[in-house]
Each structure stands twice: as C-alpha cells, then as structure tokens.
Chains A and B, each alone.
Chain A
C-alpha cells in the first residue's frame, strides 16, 4: 500500500511543563477530509501548526506523502493554509494574493495568470481580482483565502476554523461549499474546528481531541452513535448520563421516549417534567429523576400543544440499542 498523504508519528508539543499535544498518532488518507474537533485548548490548532511547520514538535515525526518534514520550515513543506482571520495581504489585490504562492514558486507570468483566474472562478470570485481585501465582504475574503491556498495545489490543505468569523447563514452555506469543493478537487484536507455541527457535516473522519490527545477517531456516524469515551459522548451532540448498577448508561435526548404509563423497556425511569422548551422544529422536555438526576428528551414538533406539561409525572425510557454503556 502506498504512503498515507499525511502521517503523524508520536507527535508531541510541550511548552515548559504544559503539554499542548501529547503523543498523537494519526494517518490521513489521500483525498480524505479529516477534522480535528475539540474544545479550545485541546491541542487541535497546535497540531495544525505543527503540520504546517509554524513551530517544531518537541518529539515525533511528521510524514507528508512519506517524506519526513518535521525539520523543514513551512515554505519547504508543500501545504496550503486557510487561517481563521484569513491573513490576506492587505496591500495586495485579491488576484495578487492568489498569485503570491505561484510567484514564490517562480512560475511563468502567463501560467500564473491562468491559474489565478481558474482559482478565482473555482471560489466564484471572477471579476473581483482587482479588489483589495478591505473592499471585500467577510465571505469574499474567506473565498480569496481558500483560492490562495488551493492555487498552489498543495499536498495537504489545512483549514484553521475558517468559518468561525462568518455569520450563521453564510457559515452553513460555506460548510457545504467547502466540503463540495474538497471532494471535487480530491485534495487531502485537515480541518480544525470546535463546532461539532461543522465536523459532522463536512468530514470523512473526525478525530475528537481533548487535553492534547485524540480520544476517538472515526466517521461522523462512529463518533456520534458509538462514542468511545464520556468526553466524546458529551462533546458531540447532547447526552443523558445515568448511573445504573455501577455502570454509566448514556442516552441521546432524541432517542429517549416519554410516556404516562410505565413502558415495557429495558431502561425506564420515573421523572417529573420541569420545563418544556419550544424550539420550533423540536420540543425539549427537561426532567428531574428520582435521585436528583437530570434528563433531557428531544421530541419532534408535530404541531398542537406539547404532549406533556411542566410538573407532570412521566416515564423516561429508551430501547436497548439506544442505551450506550460507558
């Protein structure tokens, strides 16, 4: 089998006594969209910086298409980076920004021109090549940044929370657009985000990070349906945790059911409805269980008044396949 596009082998980054990235092993396949997902301070951005070469690892090696690169500066690595703040060159036009990487590679003028035009077309910015970053909207700047990173056809594309500065509507559009573009170009991509929604929608695989380590690596369905650790379970989506005979049972709020009569289920607890939240597409029932445990049930909104009212005594239950043992 050929080498993976990117491989991290025992990568570590320490700052004094603090360990930012702790012995991370990771393989990213050719053409794959892999997301590093985790809360702030989990080491995901540091990992991205290590791949890009912005700083050197304290230990471990990084292989780009089989070539060890941990000792190389970023400009010798063949990577493209899109930054959270885009980091466009304010003194250059959009076209000059996109052309920069090609100029540094010493390509002939005509080829640069052709490729810049193609790249701008790819991100639907044709005709804005002469604009400076200040004259572009946030979404347009983001597209320029993307074109600038893609035009050099890097071995790996690195995206550092590129959507977090956009407003909600645009963010949701760009999710689909970037993921679509990535698949069309087949470019190996490492995406860093703290937004589980982005991660689930865009990724082939997700590496959930916590405290400098990868807690779980798997497809979006893997990490959501079969979280390996309590951290993954509560970080991606929402989760009910219950103690049951020395074990912890985890149940997703949308898989749980409510009933007035005691159901014939593997897992059933009596509870009191404390709040009913109306969210439009769904309703949320916030419950209090016997031993002061809390429960959450998310039910689709079929119209009409909520089935259960605050203060009502109900039964909380879930099918055996919805109960995850942690």
Chain B
C-alpha cells in the first residue's frame, strides 16, 4: 500500500471511531420502542420529549451555569498567574508552576476525593454542591487557561511593549491598548477550553455533587445504573452538542479557529 493509502486508512479509522459512536447514539434516540436498538426500529420523538423534562433540563442548566462561571473565574485568575509565570523570575516560581499546572497531571478523581475530604474536615460540609464544584472545577480548569494565556504572551512580538512605553503609554495603557488586544485570542481560547473541560468533567464532579446540585454528566452516569435507554441517548446528544455549539459560535464571532487549533503567522 502506498503511504498515502495508509494515511487515508488512518484518517478514515479516526473518523469512524470518533463520529461513529455519536451517530449511533443519535440514531438510537429516535427508536420507536424503549429499547436501545441499532439500527433504530421505527421513528419517534418521544425520547426527545422526555429528555426535555426538568429531571434532565435542570442538571443541564446547572452544568451550563457551573461551566460558564468556571470559565470566567479561571480566566480571570489565569491572567495575573500567566503574567507572573511568563514574565518574572522570582523565588517560589517553580512551586507556583507545579501548583498551577499540577492538576493537569493528577487524575481529577484524586483531586475530587481530596476536595471532598477537605470540605468535610474543614467544617465546610454545607458548601458541598455548587460551591465545592466551582472550586474543584476552577482547580482543574486553571491549567488550561494559564497555559493558553502564557503561550499567547510568549508569542507577543518582543519589543511592542517597550515601543508603546516610548510612545507615552503608561504600563496600564500598554496592557489595555497593546497587550490585551494581542493576547485576546489566547484569553478567549483559554476560557473556551476551561468551559468545555468543566462541562464534560465527571471524575471530580461525582464526589462534590449533592441532590439538586448535580451536573449533567453525573446525572447521566447515575442513570446508567438502570441501563441505557433511548432517553439517555437523546440527553447525551444534547450534552455533546452544547459545547460544540459554543466552540463554533466563539470561533465564528472571534475568528479564533486558528488559535484553538494551531498558531497563525505573526509579525
């Protein structure tokens, strides 16, 4: 086989294994009967109707709120952190790098167990639920935000800040007029990554949820104990499409596709 043929085979396999499960899940959600058959038997929207019940919409809404707040807060925290790490050499910098990027290497499961114990022993039991989830999600999403912001800081053309200063711009105005516009794509990409990571997390969330304050992923996992039903298929498709739609919108509005997927040429 020619190398191109082999490559084509790999690409096809990647698409089959990436898109296949999604397509099958979507198809299953249109089954006529309460059996997860593929190919689907008959056609019905009843499972989609059931997926719109508060039982599912509430956790979806909860996850959206949690992921949005996580994205905003971790990005706000990431800005000064990334600046400090990318620009300055100071005592304790290595420790700060390890602490910031550490959660990237740790299984979120371990972080989740740890946080649960922390909240319990610190007498913060009442905060388990949304608050604990928010804290946990910020911890695991921060590395993504810090990294993308730091990378975009490193791609700043070397002397633009000095140039702005020489032209009479104070430090604050240099940040506002020159640095932020140039790293804007990195900031937004970081927020998108944080949102998606928070929205899709189950490992950590499973420990920190409480009745009534349950993210959609945990809800789906819990429901799976009773077997896979077409309703679940419909819910899964919605859960899958939401972050995809968000990425698509952000990409459309800001033209950031090239940042999320790779670097663009810079002056």
Contact = CB atoms under 8 A, between A and B. Distances in A.
A86 to B, nearest CB: 8
Contacts, number: 73
A87 B158 contact: yes
B167 A152 contact: yes
Contact of A91 (B163, B169, B170, B182): B182
Interface of B is mostly: helix
Interface stretch (B11-19, B95-103, B134-142, B173-181): B173-181
A104 B178 CA distance: 12
Contact of A81 (B163, B171, B177, B178): B163
A80 B166 contact: yes
A74 interface: yes
B266 interface: yes
B162 A52 contact: yes
A88 B166 CA distance: 12
Contact of B163 (A53, A87, A105, A134): A87
A71 B47 CA distance: 72
A54 interface: yes
Interface string B164-206: 1111111101000110011000000000000000000000000
Interface in B81-130: none
B158 A105 contact: no
A196 B168 CA distance: 32
Nearest to B267: A90
B162 A101 contact: no
B222 interface: no
B159 interface: yes
A101 B182 CA distance: 18
A73 interface: yes
Contact of B167 (A53, A100, A133, A158): A100
A202 B118 CA distance: 70
A89 interface: yes
Interface string B231-267: 0000000000000000000000000000000000111
B169 A81 contact: no
B159 A83 contact: yes
A104 B170 CA distance: 9
A73 B168 CA distance: 9
Interface in A46-94: 52-54, 73-75, 77, 79-81, 83, 85, 87-91
B162 A104 contact: no
Interface in A148-201: 148-149, 152, 158
A165 to B, nearest CB: 12
B267 A74 contact: no
B233 to A, nearest CB: 45
B20 interface: no
Contacts of B160: 87-90
Given A83-B159, A90-B157, A75 B177 contact: no
Contacts of B167: 75, 80, 100-101, 104, 148-149, 152
Contacts of A54: 162, 165
A101 B178 CA distance: 12
Given A88-B267, A90-B182, A91-B182, A104 B168 contact: yes
Contact of A75 (B158, B169, B267): B169
B236 to A, nearest CB: 41
B173 A74 contact: no
Given A90-B157, A91-B182, A134-B265, A100 B169 contact: yes
Contacts of A53: 165
A149 B167 CA distance: 7
A152 B173 CA distance: 17
Nearest to B178: A89
A91 B266 CA distance: 10
Interface string A89-110: 1110000000011001100000
Given A83-B159, A85-B157, A133-B267, A74 B165 contact: yes
Contacts of A149: 166-167
9 contacts: A74-B165, A75-B168, A75-B169, A83-B159, A85-B159, A89-B163, A89-B182, A134-B265, A158-B166
7 shortest interchain CB distances as A-B pairs? A87-B159, A101-B167, A104-B168, A87-B163, A74-B165, A90-B267, A81-B166
Interface of A: 52-54, 73-75, 77, 79-81, 83, 85, 87-91, 100-101, 104-105, 133-134, 148-149, 152, 158
